[in-house]
């Protein structure tokens, strides 16, 4: 049924309700959670529509020629690796691209032979499943809270936060101007302007934003995009400015992993406390548990 006929049907139904029961029915419609399953579905559909819009604006590998260092770092991986954006291309989509010959999961180890090995895949965005895990199972109710996504890229964390949480304001900070323009396009088209703001900036210039945030998300922000000295400087900046007691920090990978190869001395135990997460919330077999296990939550002390 189309929107107009559905609306008419609902209005017609309401006219048949006993007048004495109408206030109770309207109150139930205003406050019930019984509609959640429909609105959740609609949110998923909206995110899938956004992914389609972005796919139409970006090359298959979802990397821009302006990302020199990231492109170079992917080429330097020990095994042949390709960038496949997990928000734009889910497993089913990748399968269909492989069937069409537009993508491959394997590379040829000896040219011309049938000896093949799996290609390494890297994603620079959270998948839909990871976003839902973060907003439904990692973070608490965000009513009245300010969230900052450090390195917002395609804006997935911001759109997910708009649709799956009640966060008051969602800020994205992104170094790459081309990605900022793409985010602005989506925010305008889907009318997210009341709660989402994107700043084209280096996070190391955004001290007060970090100091006032209630939730900070950091998905593999620096490793592929900055050299080691810059990564160390950026982490120093984060650890100096993310200090609001009780605020939450979500990272991929863990802070220990992110900092382990850098010349840096950040003491974690006086700064943060890790909050254990339940990674078993989705019983379905096809869930990428390894990806979920990379997500860590910390409380600022």
Ligand X SMILES: C[S@@+](CC[C@H](N)C(=O)[O-])C[C@H]1O[C@@H](n2cnc3c(N)ncnc32)[C@H](O)[C@@H]1O
106 to 125: interface string for ligand X, x by CB under 6 A: ------------------xx
Considering only 43, 62, 156, 258, the residue that binds ligand X (CB under 6 A) is 156
Give the nearest distance from C-beta 135 to ligand X in angstroms. Answer: 12
Give the nearest distance from C-beta 104 to ligand X in angstroms. Answer: 23
Considering only 43, 165, 183, 220, the residue that binds ligand X (CB under 6 A) is 220
| Residue 210 interacts with ligand X (CB under 6 A): yes or no | no
Determine contact, residues 60/210, Cβ cutoff 8 Å: no
In eight-state DSSP terms, residue 25 is: H
Determine contact, residues 168/145, Cβ cutoff 8 Å: yes
Strands 272-275 and 296-300: antiparallel
Stretch that binds ligand X, among 23-31, 33-41, 88-96, 171-179 (CB under 6 A): 171-179
d(CA 233, CA 47): 34
Give the nearest distance from C-beta 288 to ligand X in angstroms. Answer: 15
Q: How many residues bind ligand X (CB under 6 A)?
A: 24
Cis peptide before 253 (omega within 30 of 0): yes
Based on CB atoms, which residue is closest to ligand X, 226 or 242? 226
Who contacts 192 (Cβ-Cβ below 8 Å, separation ≥6)? Answer: 158, 159, 162, 186
Determine contact, residues 158/193, Cβ cutoff 8 Å: no
The residue with its CB nearest to ligand X is 151
d(CA 113, CA 130): 37
| Residue 203 interacts with ligand X (CB under 6 A): yes or no | yes
d(CA 37, CA 14): 22
| Residue 157 interacts with ligand X (CB under 6 A): yes or no | yes
Considering only 104, 169, 176, 294, the residue that binds ligand X (CB under 6 A) is 176
Give the nearest distance from C-beta 19 to ligand X in angstroms. Answer: 51
Considering only 51, 139, 173, 297, the residue that binds ligand X (CB under 6 A) is 173
Based on CB atoms, which residue is closest to ligand X, 107 or 184? 184
Considering only 133, 171, 179, 235, the residue that binds ligand X (CB under 6 A) is 179
Based on CB atoms, which residue is closest to ligand X, 43 or 125? 125
- Alpha helix segments (H runs only) across the chain: 3-16, 22-31, 36-57, 68-75, 91-99, 128-133, 156-164, 177-189, 207-212, 228-241, 255-260, 289-293
Determine contact, residues 192/43, Cβ cutoff 8 Å: no
**At 298, is the secondary structure helix, strand, or coil?**
strand
Give the nearest distance from C-beta 97 to ligand X in angstroms. Answer: 20
Based on CB atoms, which residue is closest to ligand X, 103 or 151? 151
Considering only 152, 165, 247, 251, the residue that binds ligand X (CB under 6 A) is 152
Based on CB atoms, which residue is closest to ligand X, 157 or 272? 157
d(CA 88, CA 49): 10
Q: Which of residues 131-150 bind ligand X (CB under 6 A)?
A: 149
Who contacts 130 (Cβ-Cβ below 8 Å, separation ≥6)? Answer: 86, 291, 292, 295
Binding site for ligand X (CB under 6 A): 124-126, 149, 151-153, 156-157, 173-176, 179, 202-204, 219-222, 225-226, 234
């Amino acid at each position: 049924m189309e929107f107009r006929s559905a609306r008419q049907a609902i209005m017609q139904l309401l006219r048949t309700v006993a007048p004495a029961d109408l206030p109770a029915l309207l109150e139930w419609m205003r406050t019930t959670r019984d509609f959640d399953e429909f609105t959740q579905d609609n949110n998923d559909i909206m995110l899938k529509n956004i992914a389609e819009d972005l796919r139409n604006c970006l090359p298959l590998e979802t990397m821009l020629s302006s990302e020199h260092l990231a492109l170079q770092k992917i080429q330097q991986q020990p095994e042949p690796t390709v960038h496949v954006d997990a928000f734009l291309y889910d497993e089913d989509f990748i399968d269909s691209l492989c069937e069409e010959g537009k993508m491959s999961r394997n590379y040829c180890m000896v040219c011309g032979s049938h000896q093949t090995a799996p290609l390494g895949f890297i994603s620079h965005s959270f998948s839909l499943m990871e976003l839902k895990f973060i907003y439904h199972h990692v973070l608490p109710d965000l009513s009245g809270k300010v969230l900052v996504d450090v390195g917002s890229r395609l804006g997935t964390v911001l759109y997910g936060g708009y649709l799956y949480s009640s966060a008051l304001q969602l800020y994205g900070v992104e170094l790459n101007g081309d990605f900022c323009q793409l985010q602005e396009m989506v925010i305008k088209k889907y009318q997210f302007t009341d709660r989402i703001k994107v700043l084209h900036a280096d996070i190391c210039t955004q001290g007060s934003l970090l100091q006032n945030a209630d939730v900070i998300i950091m998905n593999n922000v620096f490793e592929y995009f900055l050299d080691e000295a810059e990564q160390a400087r950026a982490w120093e900046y984060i650890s100096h400015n993310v200090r609001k007691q009780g605020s939450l920090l979500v990272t991929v990978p863990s802070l220990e992993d992110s900092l382990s190869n850098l010349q840096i001395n950040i003491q974690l135990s006086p700064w943060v406390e890790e909050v254990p997460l339940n990674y078993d919330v989705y019983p379905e077999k096809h869930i990428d548990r390894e990806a979920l296990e990379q997500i860590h939550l910390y409380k600022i002390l």
